[in-house]
């Protein structure tokens, strides 16, 4: 059994494959394959355990921008995460959903592997939540619905995401939410189950903590945790250390106090997602859509992208990073050392 547990903030992840998709380049550039040297770094959008995500443009063209995720090979090898990084690439390269960030191309050099993606300049929901304190019911409804659409797309393909949290949801220019970071995602086998202990501590489902084996229903659990966080700005299960947090999670959702501003239909939905027994957990988009919390919600408009988002981010131009926290230190360009094992593990990049 593998173990891959993330502490909540500061964040980190793993990564990614090549999807030969060129429509994101202008019509004139179609078929053109980019080289790493063609990209110019504008700033850093975020950092994680394996590297950082930079905002980049192609040469001097500031009319469009991209997110370039850069991962240190030495760190991946030292932590024996080659397989996970390749799995992330394999999964991400096969996805095509309006609710999941679009992946374009990979690169590699002596020290790093890279993944070029669509950039969502509206910022990530964790940063926005820190500024706002909490989200209104309408905002929560919209953001949760976007996350549900993304997860439904993955679950239909038998992929479990396992790391839903506000940091991994970013806003595009229209104010729609997209899912990022497939470091813990896994394509399940025919039995639809897996055993790796993984996830971010506060969001982990009881069956992962108990090491009983788990399936796509762990993502329903985290939907409940994330909804609670949106509505209250807080996490339902806290604790001074991982052990205390796990103990509280195992005590169950009925031990959690809901603030008065959380409506009864929201509480009902959160509790339906956070059922301890995965068999009793609300899952599947048709059942979720019918829940009373979504009574007045227009799902068809959401999918058609005609639903008006609660917030349209202020973005001045294609290279405006003002919706991200500007607190990342300069890159450490120390040459990587200690590489060993299969030196060609990154051949897919
Ligand atoms: N496509 C994107 N568009 C906009 N911002 C992004 C994008 N991808 C990542 N970011 C920003 O960078 C941060 C880190 O991204 P990501 O989680 O993919 O990195 P990571 O190294 O895998 O981190 P972690 O260790 O938490 O898994 C995100 O929280 C977000 O703020």
**Which residues make up each annotated binding site for ATP?**
69
pLDDT at 28: 43
Using CA positions, which residue lies closest to atom 13 of ligand 1?
46
Burial (CB count within 10 angstroms: exposed 0-12, middle 13-18, buried 19+), residue 268:
middle
CATH number of 125-304: 1.10.510.10
What atom of ligand 1 comes closest to residue 52's alpha carbon? 21
Mean pLDDT of the chain: 88
**340 pLDDT above the threshold of 70:** no
Give the model confidence (pLDDT) of 208-218 as tens digits. 999 999 999 99
Measure 259 CA to ligand 1 centroid, in angstroms: 30
Confidence of residue 192 (pLDDT cuts 50, 70, 90): confident
Q: Which two tokens stand for residue 339?
A: 């590489």
Contact 279, 221 (CB under 8 A): no
pLDDT at 286: 87
| Terminal-residue alpha carbon distance, the chain | 27
Measure 48 CA to ligand 1 centroid, in angstroms: 7
Q: Which two tokens stand for residue 204?
A: 């982990």
Measure 182 CA to ligand 1 centroid, in angstroms: 10
Q: Which two tokens stand for residue 345?
A: 């593990």
**What ipTM was estimated for this complex?**
0.96
CA–CA gap between residue 322 and residue 325 (Å, rounded): 7
Closest by CA position to 222, among listed 260, 249, 182, 242: 249
Give the model confidence (pLDDT) of 90-103 as tens digits. 999 999 999 999 99
**24 pLDDT above the threshold of 50:** no
- Tell me the range of 71-85, 110-124, 332-346 where mean pLDDT is highest: 110-124
**137 pLDDT above the threshold of 90:** yes
**18 pLDDT above the threshold of 70:** no
**31 versus 105: which is more confidently predicted?**
105
Using CA positions, which residue lies closest to atom 11 of ligand 1?
46
Contact 147, 166 (CB under 8 A): no
pLDDT at 327: 67
**22 pLDDT above the threshold of 90:** no
CA–CA gap between residue 180 and residue 247 (Å, rounded): 29
Q: From the candidates 60, 109, 124, 163, which is the catalytic residue?
A: 163
Give the model confidence (pLDDT) of 241-270 as tens digits. 999 999 999 999 999 999 999 999 999 999
Measure 296 CA to ligand 1 centroid, in angstroms: 32
**7 pLDDT above the threshold of 80:** no
CATH 3.30.200.20 segments of the chain: 34-121+318-344
Give the model confidence (pLDDT) of 152-181 as tens digits. 999 999 999 999 999 999 999 999 999 999
Percent of the chain with pLDDT over 90: 76
Question: What pTM does this model have?
Answer: 0.89
Confidence of residue 283 (pLDDT cuts 50, 70, 90): confident
Residues with CB under 6 A from ligand 1: 11-13, 45-46, 48-51, 53, 67, 69, 101, 117-120, 124, 167-168, 170, 180-181, 183, 324
Q: Which two tokens stand for residue 131?
A: 């500024």
Using CA positions, which residue lies closest to atom 28 of ligand 1?
46
Q: Strand ranges (DSSP E) for the chain? A: 3-6, 39-48, 51-58, 61-72, 103-108, 112-118, 159-160, 169-171, 177-179, 186-187, 197-200
Mean pLDDT, range 6-11, rounded to an integer: 55
Fold entry, domain 34-121+318-344: Phosphorylase Kinase; domain 1 (3.30.200)
CATH 1.10.510.10 segments of the chain: 125-304
């Amino acid at each position: 059994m593998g173990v891959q547990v993330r502490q909540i903030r500061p964040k980190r992840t793993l990564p990614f494959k090549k999807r030969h998709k060129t429509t994101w380049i202008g019509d004139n550039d179609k078929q053109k394959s980019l080289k790493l040297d063609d990209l110019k770094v504008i700033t850093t959008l975020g950092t994680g355990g394996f590297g950082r995500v930079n905002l980049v443009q192609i040469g001097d063209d500031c009319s469009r921008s991209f997110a370039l995720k850069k991962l240190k090979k030495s760190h991946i090898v030292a932590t024996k995460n080659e397989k996970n990084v390749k799995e992330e690439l394999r999964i991400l390269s096969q996805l095509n959903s309006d609710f999941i960030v679009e992946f374009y191309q990979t690169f590699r050099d002596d020290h790093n592997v890279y993944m070029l993606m669509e950039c969502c300049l509206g910022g990530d929901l964790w940063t926005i939540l820190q500024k706002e304190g909490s989200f209104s019911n309408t905002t929560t409804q919209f953001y949760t619905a976007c996350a549900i659409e993304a997860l439904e797309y993955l679950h239909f393909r038998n992929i479990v995401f396992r790391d839903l949290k506000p940091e991994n949801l970013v806003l595009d220019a229209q104010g729609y939410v997209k899912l990022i970071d497939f470091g813990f995602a896994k394509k399940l086998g025919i039995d639809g189950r897996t055993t790796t202990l993984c996830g971010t501590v506060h969001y982990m489902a009881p069956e992962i903590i108990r090491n009983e084996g788990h399936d796509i229903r762990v993502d329903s659990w985290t939907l409940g945790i994330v909804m609670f966080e949106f509505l209250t700005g807080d996490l339902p299960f806290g604790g001074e250390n991982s052990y205390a947090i796990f103990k509280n999670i195992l005590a169950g959702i009925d031990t959690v106090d809901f603030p008065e501003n959380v409506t009864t239909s929201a509480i009902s939905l959160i509790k339906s997602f956070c059922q301890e027994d995965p068999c009793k957990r609300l899952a599947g988009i048709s059942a979720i859509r019918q829940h009373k919390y979504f009574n007045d919600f227009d799902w068809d408009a959401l999918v058609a992208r005609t639903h008006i988002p609660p917030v349209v981010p202020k973005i001045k131009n294609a290279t405006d990073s003002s919706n991200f926290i500007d607190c990342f230190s300069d890159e450490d360009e120390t040459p990587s050392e200690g590489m060993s094992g299969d030196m060609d593990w990154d051949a897919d990049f």
